[in-house]
Amino acid sequence: MSDSNGVLIRLDGVSKVFYTDEVETHALADIHLQVAKGEYLAIAGPSGGGKSTLLSILGLLDTPTGGEYTLSGRSVAELGAAQRARIRNRQVGFIFQSFNLIGDLDVYENVELPLTYRGMPGAERKTRAIQALEKVGMAHRVKHYPSQLSGGQQQRVAVARALAGDPLILLADEPTGNLDSTNGEAVMALLRELHNGGATICMVTHDDRYAHHAERTVQLFDGRIVDESQGRGG
């Protein structure tokens, strides 16, 4: 769900400060951002600019030091640890640069695993996992293990795992970072296809070639949004 204006995510003056050995590191400062339901947003900028910190806050993996984060019309600050974990599992799909697949599990088991944490019946888990693998073109590899797949195939499985839970939003952190350019373009084409099918996507990238795939790009520099532009999807 989203609020009455169709805004799924709203950040008002969000900041993040890390304290270590009496040193303050301001990772984010005065971030104002809205993401509409069905939008494809890229967060771009150089390494160390705060992109991954921002994505961690959006995915409820971290909390802001200041400001307000509203998700689906609800203030995230009001959520307890159990509620945050539940939302992460049910409403947010994560796609990581390093794939984060479990080597001892086959493709099907990797995609199914997050659904078991919901206590979902086996038949429904199977349907969802197979449908997600079909969407990314990996249904023929269900019995393969991650070590038997190329990097591009592993990332497709990781996308399927994120999709299987039918999340409100897909958060992709440098999803092409460990791939060559051919596989990178293939994963970007897959994300674009998912967006065309109605998915809300927020992607972090330091590569302008990939940022252009999104409808809108915000540029982060030293923890601040310094620019915003329309991509080829916008």
Q: Concatenate the DSSP letters of all residues of 169-197 into one string.
A: EEEEESTTTTS-HHHHHHHHHHHHHHHHT
pLDDT the model gives residue 47: 86
Evaluate whether 183 touches 8 at the Cβ level (below 8 Å).
no
Residue 72 lies in a domain: no
Give the structural domain span for 171. 38-63+79-230
pLDDT the model gives residue 232: 63
Sign of the C-alpha dihedral, residues 131, 134, 138, 142? positive
Evaluate whether 217 touches 231 at the Cβ level (below 8 Å).
yes
Domain count, the chain: 1
Adjacent-strand bridge partners of 220: 225
What residues contact 64, with CB distance under 8 A and at least 6 apart?
A: 14, 15, 16, 28, 57
Residue 2 lies in a domain: no
Residue 116 lies in a domain: yes
Residue 16 lies in a domain: no
pLDDT the model gives residue 118: 84
d(CA 126, CA 139): 12
pLDDT the model gives residue 48: 84
What residues contact 134, with CB distance under 8 A and at least 6 apart?
A: none
Residue 59 lies in a domain: yes
pLDDT the model gives residue 20: 86
pLDDT the model gives residue 2: 55
What pTM value is reported for the model?
0.89
Residue 5 lies in a domain: no
pLDDT the model gives residue 97: 87
pLDDT the model gives residue 233: 54
d(CA 92, CA 86): 10
Per-block average pLDDT, block size 10, for the chain (234 residues)?
A: 76 94 90 95 91 93 94 91 90 90 96 90 94 93 96 93 91 91 90 91 90 92 91 60
pLDDT the model gives residue 90: 87
Residue 150 lies in a domain: yes
State the DSSP H helix or E strand holding residue 123, giving kind and residue range, or none if neither. Answer: helix 122-135
d(CA 163, CA 146): 18
E-strand stretches of 45-165: 66-71, 74-75, 92-96
Q: What is the CATH number of the domain that holds 94?
A: 3.40.50.300
Residue 86 lies in a domain: yes
